[in-house]
Every structure is written in C-alpha cells, then in structure tokens.
Amino acid sequence: MEEKKTSENFMMKLASFIVNKRKAFIALFALACIYSAVSIPKVGVINDLTEYLPESTETRQGLDIMNAEFTTFGSAKILVSNITYQKALALSEELEEIPGISGVSFYDQQEEHGEEEKLEDFYKDASALFTITFEEEEDTEVSQQAIAQIRSVLEGYSAYVYTTVDKDDAAALKADMQVIVVIVILIILVVLLFTSKTYMEIVIFLAVFGVAALLNMGTNYWFGEISFVTNAVGAVLQLALAIDYAIILFHRFMEEHETKETIEAVTVALSKAIPEISSSSLTTVSGMIALMFMQFGIGLDLGSVLTKAIIISLLTVFLFMPALIVMFAKAIDRTVHPNFVPSINFWGKIVVKIRYIGMPAFLVIVAAACIYSGKCPYIYDVNSIESSKKNEFMASKERIQETFQVTNTMAIVIPKGDYEKEGKILKRLEAMDEVDTALGLANVEVSDDGNYILVDKLSPREFSEVAEVDLDLVRLLYQFYALEEKQYSAFMKNLEDYRISIIDMVDFIYQQKENGGIEFDDELSEEIDDLYKAMCDARQQLEGQEYDRLVFTLKGPVEGEETFATIDRIRNLALEYYDKAYVVGDATSNYDLSTSFQRDNVIISVLTALFVGIILLFTFQSAGLPFLLVLTIQGSIWINFSMPYLTGSTMYFLSYLVVSSIQMGATIDYAIVITSRYLELRKSMDDRKKTVVEALNQSFPTIITSGTILTSAGFVIGCLTNNAVIASLGKVLGRGTLISIILVMTVLPQLLLLGDKLIDKTELTKAGKSDQQKEEVQA
C-alpha cells in the first residue's frame, strides 16, 4: 500500500514538473523540429536489399568483389509490338547510332549467326526484341542521355522498355508516399471526427503526430543510412502505431476536466497516463526488438527506426501534448460535441450467446490456419512480387515474357589468371541445358570463323591472318614486344615459334601507336582502335585486379528448388578448379535470402511471443491471461499467413517477417484494452456475461480508432504504391490488423468468459490479496 502511494506521489511530481515547465518544453521541441527539418535531406537511403545480406553469405562477398573490381555496363531489353521485321531491322540500326550505345543485338538475315541464334529469339508474333548494351555504367551522364534518346526514338511505337538505367525507385516511391501520407491523414481525420469528443482534439492530435513524425525522420540521420522500406513506411506506421498514446492521455484529461480546472486536470491525467501508456507501448516495442535479432540486416534497420519512433512518440505525448492541451483549453471547451460512437451492447450479447459455437469453430480454424500457414508459398525475388499497381519495369518484364524467354544473368567470380581453367568451366557451362549463354575472357571470339579467342597465344603468321595485317609488320611488332618484355630468347630461336596472346599483343600495338613508336595508315589505325576498345570493354567487365568474372545466363525461373539445385551444381563445378569461387546474381541472392529466412522466421516468432508473454505476465499478474491473449493474436497471424496458400497466391518473405512482428506487437494492445476493462469491471459486477458486454462496449472507441487507422494505412499503401515490396508489406499488414480486430472483438471475449476460472486460479497475487484488502480497510 505504501509503495503504491509512493509511486502515485512520484508520478504526480513528475506530471506537475512537466506541466509547470510546458513553455520550456515547447521551446525545446521547436528547436528539435528545426534540427530534424535540416537533417532529413542528409539521411541516406539504401535501395538494394542485398546490402542487408549477412557478410558471411556468398552473394554479399561476391557482390563486394564485383563492385570493387569490375565494371558492369548498362543494358536494356526493348520489345516493340505491331512492327514488321524490316522496320524492326531498320529501328535496330537507328538505335545503334545513338551516342552512348555500344551495341544492339537483333537478328539480321543478311549476316551469319551462330547455331544457337534463331530469328524467333528476336522476332515473333509481329513483336521485335532488342538487347541494348551501353558504353558506360548505367548511372553515368552518357548512359542517362542515351536512354533518354532511346525513348525519344521509340515515340510513336508500341514499346516496352525493360531496364534499370533510368529506373529511379526512390523518386517513384517518394511520389507515391506523398500521396499515401495525404490519404492516410484524411483517413485519420475522418476516424477522429467520428470518435472524438471535441473538435479541437483533432488539431492537437495532428500537431502531436506531425511533430513526432518530423523528429523521427530527422533523427534517422543518426543511423547514417536506412533502407527504402524503413524510409517509406516509417512515418505512416509511426502514426498508426502510436495514435493510442495521444488518445489515452486526452481521454484521461476529458474525464478529469469534468471536475477539475485545466492545469490540475492535465496534471492528474498525465500522472495516470504515463504508467498506462508506457506499459501499453512495451508490447509494441517488444515486437520491434524481435525484428532486430534477424540475420537479414533489414530487421535491425526497421526495428531500430520504429523503436526510436515509438520512444519519440511517447516523449512527444508526455512532454509536448500537455502544453498544447493547456494552450488550447478554451478552444477544447468551446468545440465539445455529442459522442458519435454508437453503443455496441448488441454485439457483446451476440458474442456471449454464440460462445459455445464460436469457441470450437475458432480452435478448428486456428489449427487449420497453423498448418496452412506452414505451407505458405514464399518468394524471395523482388521482381516476382504480385502487386496491384505495376511500374514500367515490371509491366515491361511481364510483356516480354509473354512472347520471349527472359533469362537470368549470373556470374562466377574466381581467382585471376588461369585462362585454361576458365575455358574448361565455360565449355561445361555451355553444355548445361539450364544455361543459355556463357562468357569469359577465355571464350571471347576475335575471328569470324570462331577459331581464335581473345586469350589464345598466336604465332606471327597466325596473328597476321586474324588481324589481317601485313606479316612483315607483325614480325617487327613481335620483335619489339620481345624487347619490351625482355624476352631475349625469342631472338635466339625461330621467331615463328614465338607465341603471344592476342589480348597482350593488341594492348602492346595500341600503346605503341599512341606513343608514336609505330605509325599505321588511317584504316589500320582505326581497326586497331576498334579492336582495342572492344578488348578494354571485355576486360573491364570480365577481368579485375585479383579476380576474373565469368558471366552466364540461366533459363527458367529466378528462384525455386530446381534453380537453387542448378546453382549448387555450378558452384561445385567451379570449385573443382579453384579453392574459392562465388556464384553471384539474383538467383543466388534469393537462395541466400531463403536460407536466412528459415532462421529469422523461427527467431522472430519465438522472441515476439516470448517478449509479449512476459510483458503480459507482469502487467496482469496472471499466468493464464497471457496465454489467452497471445493465442488470440497468434491465431490472427496464422490466419493471415494461411491466405496465400488458400488463394493460390505467393507471399514475399519480408512481408511475413516484418508484419508478423508488427501485428503481434501492435494489435496485442487491442486485446489488452478489452482485458483491462474486463478485469476492472469484474471487481464491481457479479454477472460475468454482462461484464464482457460492458467491457466490449467501453473498449470499442479505442479499438475502432487505432484499428481503423492501421488497417486503412496498410491497404492504402498496398494499393497506391507501385513499389512491389512496400505494396506487399502494406496489404499484408492491413489484412492482418483487420483479422486481429475481428478476433479481439469476437473470440477474445469468449475466451475471457470461458476462461474466467483459469484467470482466478493462475493469478500470481491471489495469495496476498486478503492481507492487502485488510490493509486497505484499515487505511
């Protein structure tokens, strides 16, 4: 009893301090808002999810090597429909003339093609497919100008451009989120208008939400960089998750204001709201903390930012909102209006009446959902996510796949230097049914007949034939090369037996020409320049300081058991020749993501349920109640993630990891609201049925406010953004929240009613209750 009084006295002192120093807190928040507004543009955004793969994964290690050692030129696939072959051929020639384009792959019937190339691979059903290679990497000014000119040339054609050269996901997502935030704010306004007691509270809520969101976005600068997922949905989720805090404080104030003046009412309300809101936020924070234990780094990123968002929301409600309430006290009194939220006693009576039917049905549904959610068909490829709104990139890919086969570009990164081994690997790759093409320095052809490749060592006569250069000039060049490399033995033996690789000889001839050591006629000089440029392009893409890269294309899907098995075969093939080798590409990225997902799935599910269970145990001092509440919310999660299996659709793995944690952490609050009301009312009401009905009726305004906003925010995000990752997260979150609300408003009251004796028997403080009651009577 003494401890309770001490706690209440501390809370009153703290609340009094906050209210008395309200002007100072307003100034402090104003400065913080200025700092945040200045810091927002400095926040770096990471658009590539592979950046968050663990350092130990093959994809992460291979990508780091490739980014450091190789140049990857921009590329594009363009499908033009309703075009004749002759017009398509003329269009390919026009595209190839654009500055910044190094080549356009299309089928010319007048030229010779390899056996693997057929007309139907480029032209079919009045549709032409062009594969374009740029002269530079995709983010350079030259490439950007080239793609802009390509689009200009394609005006008037029915064209589909599949490229990442001018694909700006960040800008598109930013534009989408601006619209989404406006719509979500409008939804919040409508919901608050319906559930508010005074119109002024809506203004106060929006001010509190705006300040909290601004502070969170600005302080993301502390992390340096955050993912595009976190950057896009952070503010919206913060509003939806933290709205309860402001509602609880304001409703407490309105209750106290009925009998007290503004300052006293705010102080008392704040003293009661701080422990209540802090306790409520713990379950949400626990879900965010569970995300941080993910092996996939995006969990730490999202969990950290959202945890910070919740803490900032708490501080804004505790320190800033009381000042606003005092400041607008007169406006609050003037704008009081009748309560628009209807009584739902009828619903409570229905829930009580069907409990003996509803409870068995719930248990059967949850058991089935648990099984079916385990069979949920997960996907890991970001470009395979189904979304309502498709961007040009996805629409073009799907259109191309309707007529032509779209292959997956992959790479093997191996130690540099042994062209003989590389040649053997490339030949074995080309012999695999699953591989469409394979390219490395060890198979780059430099002759029309295909008899010579770039790394072949040739005699002077052979080089003369390949390069179509005078034999005497070639012999002289070979002598100069031997002197330059101090290989004097070449003069001791027959020069015709001296062999130099084509790649080294072309490099030497070009350097001599540039340095003025040897003069060539204009035609030969131009041929040398062209050959040297082609060789440099090949080297930039395929040869690094310490590693070489073999590029190949896989047929079939970008993920799945068969694809992953093929990757294992290719990796083992490379490891037959080298001690270390990295297979890199979308397919290996998906493979690594699927591997980390299996671990992360278990960790998040266990930790979230464990954290929430422990918090509920201490909150309600009952061993049975946490089980009932977690069963309700976990049941909603199983139902949510059984939907893809039942509807024959797929689920993006990240949607499960993020939403399952948020759904458990956030929607458990709805269960806590009803349970708290039920436990409080059962002290003064003997009829448990009436207690449940009344608990539902009193809880409805809070649940409908927060739940409607979170559900609406999820569905709005899912339907209005063309970023497939964000759209998937939004839809799954919206659906999950809706399912949680339905179960909390139907199943949980039945569980509380039927488990009333269990609650009594498992109450941890029951033994000391009689002594405490005696003390209260004496007091």
- pLDDT tens digits along 11-69: 899 999 999 999 999 999 999 999 999 999 998 888 887 888 888 888 888 989 998 88
Q: What is the pLDDT of residue 777?
A: 39
pLDDT recorded at residue 776: 44
Give the distance from CA 171 to its chain's centroid: 16
Question: Cα(758)–Cα(97) distance, rounded to whole angstroms?
Answer: 80
**What does the mean pLDDT of the chain come to?**
85
Judge whether 652 and 377 are in contact, CB under 8 Å.
no
295 close to 54: Cβ distance less than 8 angstroms: yes
422/157 Cα distance (integer angstroms):
42
pLDDT at 604: 83
Q: Please choose, from the candidates 707, 717, 705, the residue with its C-alpha nearest in 3D space to the C-alpha of residue 636.
A: 707
Mean pLDDT of 352-376: 93
| 177 has a pLDDT exceeding 90 | no
pLDDT, position 116: 59
Q: Determine the pLDDT at residue 93.
A: 92
* pLDDT of residue 632 exceeding 80: yes
pLDDT confidence bin for 85, thresholds 50/70/90? very high
One-letter amino acid for residue 83 of the chain:
I
pLDDT at res. 5: 58
User: pLDDT digits over 322-351, tens only?
Assistant: 999 999 999 999 998 887 888 899 999 999
CA dist., res. 119 & res. 107, Å (int)? 6
Does the pLDDT value for residue 778 go beyond 60? no
Q: In this predicted model, what pLDDT tens digit does every residue of 529-586 receive, in sequence order?
A: 777 877 787 888 888 889 999 999 888 888 888 888 999 999 999 999 999 999 998 8
Burial of 194 (0-12, 13-18, 19+ CB in 10 A): middle
39 pairs with which residues across the strands? none
Flag whether pLDDT at 474 surpasses 90.
no
Which range is least confidently modeled, 107-116, 505-514, 672-681?
Answer: 107-116
The per-residue pLDDT for 765 is 64
For residues 403 and 123, what is the distance between their CA atoms, to the nearest angstrom? Answer: 9
One-letter amino acid at 283 equals T
**In whole angstroms, what separates CA 748 from the centre of its chain?**
33
From 730, 742, 664, select the one nearest 703 (Cα to Cα). 742
Task: Check whether 287 has a pLDDT greater than 90.
Answer: no
Give the Å distances, CA to CA, from 762 to 12, 16, 673.
Answer: 33, 38, 20
Pick the closest to residue 728 from 218, 463, 383, 492 (CA basis): 383
Residue 337 DSSP SS3: coil
- Per-residue pLDDT at 153 exceeds 80: yes
Distance separating alpha carbons of residues 185 and 182, to the nearest angstrom? 5
At 406, give phi and psi (nearest 5°): -100, 120
Q: What are phi and psi of 44, to 5 degrees?
A: -80, 145
pLDDT of 72 > 80? The answer is: yes
Query: Are 298 and 227 a contacting pair, CB within 8 Å?
Result: yes
Q: Taking a C-beta distance cutoff of 8 angstroms, is the pair 86, 110 a contact? A: no
**How confident is residue 713, by pLDDT bands cut at 50, 70 and 90?**
confident
Q: Are 142 and 135 in contact (CB under 8 A)?
A: yes
Position 676 scores a pLDDT of 85
* pLDDT at site 736: 92
The span from the CA of 468 to the CA of 475, in Å, is 13
**Confidence band of 774 (pLDDT split at 50, 70, 90):** very low
Tell me what pLDDT residue 775 has: 45
Report how far residue 257's alpha carbon sits from residue 201's, in angstroms, rounded to the nearest whole number: 14
Q: Which residue has the higher pLDDT, 111 or 289?
A: 289
391-420: burial string, b at 16+ Cβ within 10 Å, e else = bebbebbebbeebbeeebbbbbbbebeebe
Confidence band for 10, pLDDT divided at 50, 70 and 90: confident
Residue 258 CA from chain centroid, whole number: 48
Burial 56-68 (b: 16+ CB within 10 A, else e): ebbbbbbbebbee
The dihedrals phi and psi of 412, each to the nearest 5 degrees, come to -110, 125
The pLDDT assigned to 491 comes to 65
**Residue-level length of the chain:** 779
Tokens of residue 714, six digits: 């999820």
- The token duo for 662 is 């948020």
Can you give the pLDDT at residue 299?
86
pLDDT at residue 240 tops 50 = yes
Q: Is 750 helix (H, G, I), strand (E, B) or coil?
A: helix
Kindly state the average pLDDT of the residues 730-740. Answer: 91
Average pLDDT over residues 613-627: 84
